[in-house]
């Protein structure tokens, strides 16, 4: 027994030192491989010229992997790029499906000074932190070469910090109401309501017909309910409502309407996650869900009784007497692509080449058609566009304005507070006024 123990210890020591040894050898052999891009060794490289014989390995930690709707086409695009640039550029994808883990890792990378060559991040407060870090590449000279003309409207301004373009704006999100027309018709509602009076009348009819009108949730980030609240806030307070801060009465009034909405949802809404809220819609238990185009794929594959044929997209109702306008849409840059500052001009060129490749209208179109996702890159969907995606596009084009949702418009602390405050209000622990006070307190922290 004792001999065995000693032997086991010796073997372990040997194994560990062998592994350390192997690791050390590998580290010296690879150029940059999949390790974070900017290490001290990389900094010491004193070759400011483009080396044509060298293969540049670009590290790309990606969330568009696994079961993400964009994973399939992104993978194809990257494979095609690697084949076309064999021996010169190689994109190495680091697969991180879990978004929270991805965010944690990117933050740690930035803090440790080892920024990945290419990575994505949410637009909004998180993006500002990265822009201010001083570790991202200034893309202004490349954008000024005509690249920026490929992007929609204000997209480039949104990623400009201190007069420098600090990221590539990429995915765009819209979140209309998706409703099950068959259930609406069953309840005698033939048209999607235009305003909230009609909306609640329709909800009563649906309820009378034994159908739960809508999915709501307060678990996790309260996504679906947060989107409803966003719609209400701008519909009541107008598109500039966030500039007024939480003193704007629109926030309290929107909370009052939210309280009423929860009377028309499922019993498990308080604490429910996006999977539960989405699941109720997919099973046909609820008639409405507010979500983005990325949900279309799930309606097709998981919707009960071929529900895809019955689902339509519509702008949320408008609030009569509010400062917003009918058709106002929630639209926001969903993902920016950040690029690490490069010391090697050859590698910088390689990174830019890849970014230009994935933002080419034809390639963006391929991802969009395959996934249902929308992008801030201009491209013509033509006749191939998927039905619901086409509806969303048309509604977005017809919208008098499109503004980001609540979560993207407030401080991260307020966004974190929202689900708890909403739960408290729905459970009767907080009044709408106290709900807003709680958000306001988080805003001032």
Partner 1 sequence: MITKADTVAIPLKTERRKEITPVDTLKKFFMWFVIIWFTIFTLMPMIWLVVSSFKTNTELVSSPFSLPTKWQFQNYINAFQVSGIGKMLLNSLIISIIATVLNMMVASMASFSLSRFQFKMRELVFGTIIIGILIPINALMVPYFTLINKLGIYDKHVGLILTYAAIGLPISTYIIRGFMSGLPVELEEAGIIDGCNFYDRFFKIILPLSRTGIVTAATFQFLFSWNEFIYAMLLTSSQNVRTIQVGIRYFSNQFTTDYTSMYAAIVISIVPSILGYILFQEQIISGLTQGAVKG
Q: Which residues bind partner 1 (CB under 8 A)?
A: 1-2, 5-6, 8-9, 12-13, 15-16, 19-20, 22-24, 26-28, 33-36, 39-40, 59, 61, 63, 65-69, 92, 94-99, 101, 104-105, 108-109, 111-114, 274-276, 278-280, 282-283, 285, 292, 294-295, 298, 302, 304
Query: Which C-beta is closer to partner 1: that of 167 or that of 299?
Result: 299
For the chain, helix, strand, coil in percent to 5 are 55, 15, 30
CA distances from 366 to 224, 356, 370, 371, 377 (A): 28, 15, 6, 9, 12
Paired tokens of 165: 């373009």
The residue among 302 and 384 lying less far from partner 1, judged by its C-beta, is 302
**Encoding tokens for residue 386?**
């998927």
Find the shortest distance in angstroms from Cβ 97 to partner 1: 5
Axis crossing angle, helix 361-371 with helix 345-358, rounded to the nearest 10? 50
**In the complex, what is the shortest distance from the CB of residue 151 to partner 1, in angstroms, rounded to a whole number?**
22
Residues 6 or more apart whose CB falls under 8 angstroms from that of 361 comprise: 150, 377, 378, 379, 380
Classified as helix, coil or strand, 97 is: coil
Beta-carbon contacts of 356 under 8 Å, excluding residues fewer than 6 positions away, are 142, 147
The nearest distance, CB 392 to partner 1, in angstroms, is 15
Residues 6+ apart with CB under 8 A from 253: 232, 236, 319, 432
Look at residues 233, 238, 279 and name the one whose alpha carbon lies nearest to residue 408: 233
Between residues 156 and 227, which has the closer beta carbon with respect to partner 1? 227
Question: Per the structure block, which two tokens stand in for 411?
Answer: 């401080």
Give the C-alpha separation, 170 to 156, whole Å: 10
Is the Cβ of residue 123 or residue 280 nearer to partner 1 in the bound state?
A: 280
| CB of 250 vs partner 1, minimal distance in Å | 28
Minimum CB distance to partner 1, residue 220 (Å): 10
Q: Element (H or E) spanning 331, and its range?
A: strand 329-339
CA-to-CA distance for 11 and 170, rounded, in angstroms?
51
Q: In this structure, what DSSP letter does residue 88 have?
A: T
Q: How far is the CB of 372 from partner 1 (least distance, A)?
A: 11
Q: At its nearest, how many Å lie between partner 1 and the CB of residue 405?
A: 14
- As measured in angstroms, the least distance from the Cβ of 190 to partner 1 is 27
Task: Name which of 113 and 345 has its Cβ closer to partner 1.
Answer: 113
Q: How far is the CB of 278 from partner 1 (least distance, A)?
A: 8
Is the CB of 193 or the CB of 303 nearer to partner 1?
A: 303
Cβ closest to partner 1, residue 59 vs residue 265? 59
Q: Which of 286, 289, 285, 277 is nearest to 178 (CA)?
A: 289
Beta carbon of residue 99, minimum distance to partner 1 (angstroms, whole number)? 4
Nearer to partner 1, 213 or 292 (CB): 292
Residue 9 or 427: the one with the smaller Cβ distance to partner 1 is: 9
Q: Choose between 171 and 348: whose C-beta lies nearer to partner 1.
A: 171
Q: Which is nearer to partner 1, 234 or 280 (CB)?
A: 280
Tell me the closest approach of the beta carbon of residue 100 to partner 1, in angstroms. 9
- Give the separation between CA 230 and CA 294, rounded to whole angstroms: 19
DSSP letters spanning 238-305? -TTGGGGGGGSTHHHHHHHHHHHHGGGS-TT-TT--HHHHHHHHHTTSEEEEE--GGGHHHHHHH-GG
């Amino acid at each position: 027994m004792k001999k065995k123990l000693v032997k086991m210890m010796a073997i372990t020591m040997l194994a560990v030192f062998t592994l350390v040894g192997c690791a050390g050898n590998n580290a010296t052999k690879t150029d940059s491989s999949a390790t974070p891009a900017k290490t001290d060794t990389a900094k010491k490289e004193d070759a400011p010229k483009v080396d044509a014989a060298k293969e540049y390995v670009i590290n790309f930690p990606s969330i568009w992997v696994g079961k993400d709707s964009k994973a399939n086409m992104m993978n194809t695009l990257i494979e095609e790029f690697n084949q076309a640039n064999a021996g010169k550029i190689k994109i190495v994808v680091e697969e991180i499906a879990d978004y929270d883990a991805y965010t944690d890792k990117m933050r740690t990378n930035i803090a440790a000074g080892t920024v990945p060559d290419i990575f994505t991040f949410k637009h909004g407060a998180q993006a500002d932190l990265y822009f201010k870090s001083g570790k991202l590449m200034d893309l202004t000279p490349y954008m000024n070469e005509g690249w920026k003309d490929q992007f929609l409207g204000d997209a480039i301004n949104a990623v400009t910090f201190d007069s420098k373009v600090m990221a590539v704006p990429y995915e765009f999100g819209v979140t209309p109401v998706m409703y099950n027309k068959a259930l609406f018709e069953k309840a005698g509602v033939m048209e999607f309501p235009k305003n909230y009076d009609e909306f609640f009348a329709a909800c009563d009819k649906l309820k009378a017909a034994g159908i739960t009108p809508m999915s709501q949730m307060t678990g996790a980030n309260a996504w679906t309910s947060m989107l409803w609240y966003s719609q209400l806030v701008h519909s009541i307070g107008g598109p500039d409502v966030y500039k007024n801060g939480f003193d704007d009465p629109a926030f309290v009034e929107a909370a009052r309407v939210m309280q009423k909405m929860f009377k028309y949802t499922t019993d498990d809404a308080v604490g429910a996650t996006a999977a539960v809220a989405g699941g109720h819609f997919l099973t046909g238990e609820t008639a409405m869900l507010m979500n983005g185009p990325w949900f279309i794929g799930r309606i097709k594959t998981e919707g009960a009784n071929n529900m895809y044929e019955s689902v339509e997209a519509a702008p949320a109702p408008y609030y009569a007497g509010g400062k917003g306008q009918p058709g106002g849409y929630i639209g926001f840059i969903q993902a920016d692509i950040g690029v690490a500052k490069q010391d090697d001009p050859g590698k910088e060129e390689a990174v830019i080449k890849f970014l230009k490749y994935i933002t080419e209208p034809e390639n963006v179109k391929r991802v969009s058609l395959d996934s249902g996702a929308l992008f801030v890159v201009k491209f013509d969907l033509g006749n191939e566009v998927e039905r619901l995606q086409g509806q969303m596009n048309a509604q977005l084009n017809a919208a008098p304005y499109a503004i980001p949702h609540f979560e993207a418009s407030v401080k991260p602390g307020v966004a974190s507070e929202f689900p708890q405050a909403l739960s408290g209000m729905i459970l009767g622990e907080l009044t709408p006024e106290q709900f807003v006070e709680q958000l306001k307190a988080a805003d001032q922290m």
